[in-house]
Chains A and B, each alone.
Chain A
Amino acid sequence: MTSSRSLASSTVLIVGCGGLGVPAAWTLAAAGVGRLILCDDDVVEISNLHRQVLYRDSDVAAARAKVDALAYALRRRFAGVELVPVRARLDGSGDLRALLEGADGLLEGTDDPGLKFAASDALVALRGAERPPVGVIAAAIGRRGQFFGQLRRGACFRCLFEAPPPPAAVASCRVAGILGPVALEVGALAARSLVRLLAGQPDAAAGALVRLQSGRLDRVVVPIAADCPCRDAGH
């Protein structure tokens, strides 16, 4: 890949080191991204192992923090990547924006809808920065998954969904379940798209939602919503 040199000097913030974050971080490291900031506040539990496949039984036994276990697993496989574990639960777009400053890319893969909007808001807020970051916001449940690529201009996550759903309406993988390989595939595909966006290559997820449903992949181009605050941001 011609862009491997610039990827090697890129930094990506990964928010959520679970079912999507693990394959995403693995993919970004395999693609040659130079620096990964891993952010999560959980420890590895036995019920994570079916889908968060870089964690080991010994991580469960030691109640190791996910960010440390993931950094260890990636360091063993990719000696060249710099790993920055941040064990914290992010709250609101302010925290996220602070971590994102100076990064080139953001991969959001938590099961918290609020954080998806916070991630989008932080990307929009940094559109005026010298080197605005790009991001991919991913979700998966059951046998379905989707991810949205948010560019330096064009539609944001709020153009797609107006606001987070009420907490009671949210089914998370803790209660609704997820087929392990589905999480792995969606997380890896989301990160693959982020690599392409970072390299300035065209990608199916650029300003669009890519969905995996019933074994099929499709793509919905997202227009900028007329009343979305992102209209006034940046340039």
Chain B
Amino acid sequence: MSVSAHDPAQLLERLGRQLLVPGVELARQAALAARAVVVTLGGVGRSAGALEPDGQPGATPPIATAAEALLRALAGAGYGRLGLASALSQPVEPPDGAAWLTGSDGLSQVRTAPPPLAHVHLAVRPYGASADVLITESTDGWEEGEAHDATVATLVFDVGAPLSGADAIAFGALVARLLTEHDLGLSPLPASLHLRWPEDGGAPEVHRRAPTEGGAEVAPLASATLPPGLLKELQATPEVFGAILDHVERDWPDEACGFVLRHGDGRLEAVASRNLQDRYHGVDPVSSWRTSRTAFQLDARLLQRRLDDGADLAVIYHSHCEAGAYFSAEDARAAAPDGEPTHPATRHLVVSVLGGVAKATAMFAFDTEARCFAAEHGSGTLPAGWRRGAAGATR
């Protein structure tokens, strides 16, 4: 007897036990076959130590085990197209029953895979939360969709210690369950979820957060109404714009932040700040539950010192790693906590960084009539002269 994943009768037999679960619709299940999910791994650089296996030379690092558990669970649940891109050379045996998108050159097949495509980024952290997950959804494919990528969920898995082999499969399975329950219409993905499993043996806690909680609204990119302005001027100032792109690429996979000053003579100056988010996360991982992977906190004292010298704050910039150049609900909450912008005369530049390469920029300002943040025209792409490739800046 041979087994074929593509024989409908065998597919039914393969997934039959799952279809018996109340609420799982056959049509939804069938739609999973067309769904593509790409998993990437992070935590490289400063937290590279956490990628090492638990004292077993040559063994698989926990994050790679978590990725394999996630991918196998998705393949089992009926997802038709799966891929794994990783800086690690750990090979993951492709699961049966799904087309494997990862070619010999990494992601070439993913780039051409038609949507719907979800991108799941798993990252281990040096301290605080053990690992975090970012799920982005692309409706336009991998390459062209930067401006339309939407972050669907941010998940934090916190067992009070670096991710270990004992945690890895549970972590991968949790992500698989949330994604599967979402795609089967059983339970929507929370905009954010913080699973804390106290090391002292206390009861596990799950905090879900709704997409918006106070703060200003964010207009979708399509409704951008602001005239071209600062973004165009910035892009025409190579030493300033180039410094920003270099900074956000250098700090990837962490978010980078900084600001642009306008001096009395009209000259623009880019100033890079440290991202203090991990420091805040370190002292209070519950209130500041995000890490620098998915959040930034600018050095306000640095900004104040520079403003005391007499310049104007023209732009605050930050990056989104493995996500699009959009103004997120979190960005809006921070920029206008009571619905009123803290810096009304300042614009916000967001740079999308995918795989360490700046892919798109967008400029936002508070629209005082619409009472929300809106994007300038020209947002969402990088002009041809600024297009960057894997080999570095092409300018």
Contact = CB atoms under 8 A, between A and B. Distances in A.
Given A27-B166, A50-B15, A180 B73 contact: yes
Interface stretch (B74-82, B312-320, B387-395): B74-82
Contact of A202 (B5, B21, B60, B201): B201
Contacts of B197: 204
Given A46-B3, A51-B76, A178-B21, A185 B174 contact: yes
A54 interface: yes
Nearest to B22: A142
Contacts, number: 187
Interface centre among B22, B72, B174 (most CB of A within 10 A): B72
A176 interface: yes
17 contacts: A47-B17, A50-B17, A53-B95, A60-B3, A79-B58, A143-B186, A175-B20, A177-B18, A180-B18, A180-B76, A181-B74, A181-B173, A184-B69, A184-B72, A185-B177, A192-B166, A215-B178
Interface in A168-188: 173-182, 184-185, 188
B170 interface: yes
Nearest to B168: A30
A219 B60 CA distance: 31
Interface of B: 1-3, 5, 10, 13-22, 24, 54-56, 58-60, 62, 65, 69, 72-78, 93, 95-97, 164-170, 172-174, 176-178, 180-181, 184, 186-187, 195, 197-206
B96 A54 contact: no
A17 interface: no
Interface residues of A, number: 59
B202 A178 contact: no
A184 B173 contact: yes
A88 to B, nearest CB: 24
Contacts of A32: 54-56, 165
A128 interface: no
Nearest to B205: A217
B200 to A, nearest CB: 5
Interface string A159-170: 000000000000
Given A173-B17, A181-B180, A215-B181, A23 B3 contact: no
A36 to B, nearest CB: 14
Nearest to A202: B201
A31 interface: yes
Contacts of A75: none
B77 A219 contact: no
Contacts of A58: 3
A77 to B, nearest CB: 6
A52 B95 CA distance: 12
Contacts of B56: 4, 32, 78, 80
A58 B72 CA distance: 15
Given A32-B56, A189-B170, A192-B166, A57 B18 contact: no
